[in-house]
Structure 1
């Protein structure tokens, strides 16, 4: 379980990227974080990962402020050393953490990385770098997975594989947080979603409930209806 209490993150004296954010999520859930550019999604993710220190508030894992969760992170743009080979990078991964070899080998084969082993990272396509990012993120079971724009640069087959991985981690007891601009992904995967706007949570709901309230079939239609018919008339 993760609990975010009155979280605020600022990069300047009067400029808050995240303002008084509150939410709590149990394990065995997939939660999507959405919002326009500059809404605070990335800052909230960095706060959860411990990459930025909040100005106020707290993030608790199982009721503890120290990081008692194991976390897998897949950034939108992988950043690996460009002058080493794929097999060298994989050896480095395995030295950092104890890997379940059967789980690792299964994912390695599914991602079809064998014929890239001797290639330097700098010579790989963006999609192949994303495959390596998937491998390092999911080859070890984690309590929490934080995934930023999960299907960026992926072909349809690997995108489908990644979605199945998210669902599988949920079934195994993990909590998955993912940010996306693709609302069909949210509708397909998320048990719940948070819409951020100007650093605050504007909507915290389930896709099913939100669609029903707005009498729409797709999240694109429902969010446009909310934005144009409800939200803008109140501001």
Structure 2
């Protein structure tokens, strides 16, 4: 289990995340949703270790407690590989970076259709193809935790669906997956739980099915719209 306790992230005088706490278990998919600037990316980057929290801590709790950022696969929203490096060179680098199953690596490489781009430099790739390389670097090595920021950005419907299948397969293998998204149908489709954030605070921690059922609005989008309208009306 991953335990986030009193996580607070501050940039200068601005609080991006305001003391949130939650647990997340292996074999589950957790989605972070909320408006732009709500703190989702700051939470993900804190888990990965790219941002140092002002307060609080993140632990992987099992037989022993240890820092989680050595145990994660990370798919950032925008991959930042060197522009002048060919895809084939990136692939060779990824293979050497950590031990991976050659057959599993090749299967994912073929499924993503990257063979046709082996001799093309990363900077010349389309946004969607860059994301395919991003998927490969994140999921080609087995990890207990995967952190994924806006996973279907720039992806065509086929690869978007393939990525969902990868997430579900990793869940079945026992991994914990945490992803942020603005696409609420994705949350309903694959997430076991979602966290709704706003202005750095955690407003809702629930399963999509339970949240919709309790408010009887048909789907997650309609239910959240009612929630936001009610919350906004209470402020004025």
Of 59-68 and 144-153, more deviation after overlay is shown by 59-68
1:148 is aligned to: 149
1:161 corresponds in structure 2 to: 162
Structure 1 unpaired stretches of 5+? none
Match of 2:12?
Answer: 12
CA RMSD of aligned residues (A): 1.2
Q: Report the Cα offset of residue 232 of structure 1.
A: 2.6
Pairing of 1:186-201 with structure 2 (within 5 A): 186-201=187-202
Tell me the equivalent position of 1:75: 76
- State the alpha-carbon separation in 1 of the partners of residues 173 and 193 from structure 2: 18
Specify the alignment match of 1:217 in structure 2.
Answer: 218
d(CA) in 2 for partners of 1:182 and 1:31? 14
Is 1:207 equivalent to 2:200 in the alignment?
no
User: Quick one: distance in 2 between partners of 1:234 and 1:48?
Assistant: 33
Residues 1:2 and 2:2 are matched in the alignment: yes
CA distance in 2, matches of 1:32, 1:218: 16
Aligned to 1:36: 35
For 1:182, the equivalent position in structure 2 comes to 183
Distance 1:67 1:190 in 2: 21
* Helix, strand or coil at the partner of 1:28: coil
Distance 1:10 1:65, change over 3 A: farther
Q: In structure 1, what is the Cα distance between the partners aligned to 2:174 and 2:70?
A: 12
> 1:34-113 alignment to 2 at 5 Å?
34-62=33-61, 64-67=65-68, 70-113=71-114
Q: Deviations over 1:120-177 (max 9, x none)?
A: 1111111111111111111111111111111111011100100000000000000000
2:67, 2:190 → 1: CA distance? Answer: 29
Is the contact between residue 8 and residue 55 of structure 1 (CA under 8 Å) also seen in structure 2? yes
Tell me the TM-score normalized by structure 1. 0.96
Provide TM-score, normalisation by structure 2. Answer: 0.96
Count of residue pairs brought into register by the alignment: 233
**Runs of 4+ that moved beyond 6 A:** none
Partner Cα separation in structure 2 for residue 208 and residue 32 of structure 1: 13
Residue 185 of structure 1, CA deviation: 0.5
Once residues 234 and 25 of structure 1 are traced to their aligned partners in structure 2, the CA distance between those partners, rounded to angstroms, is 31
Q: Which residue of structure 2 aligns with residue 22 of structure 1?
A: 21
